Structure 1
């Protein structure tokens, strides 16, 4: 999960999560006090959900408690994904 912040180090985290088959949730940059970190994360193309802060927790809860939730949390890495 990438929240408000500066610089682009969150983008590296997104790539690492995707490289290992995980899901990436990012705060909507329009709601962030400092939007560059969420924006850089989104620019990687590795983001699954972009949500306002008040919806992030419920999204994680839904992904982890839904029937088959474990399968919802892991995804195959698409061959086109920029993961370097």
Structure 2
């Protein structure tokens, strides 16, 4: 069984999920549009319940597209950019 890394990018317009092999090569990327709320001029908010559901959807879409399944490995990697 191969090991993969899953990355999520919650940007201004799109939510992207990327799958990478053990050498860091991109296997596939899927994305969904994000919806922003603007309750007042100059304000931008996100519905966190909707965002959480979209995270699950984009990950499911990615794994279905690639046929990758399995359980998480015991390692955890966290980073941020920007």
Q: TM-score range by the shorter chain?
A: under 0.3
TM-score after normalising by structure 2: 0.28
Larger Rg: 2
TM-score after normalising by structure 1: 0.27
Flag the structure with higher helix content. 1
Flag the structure with higher strand content. 2
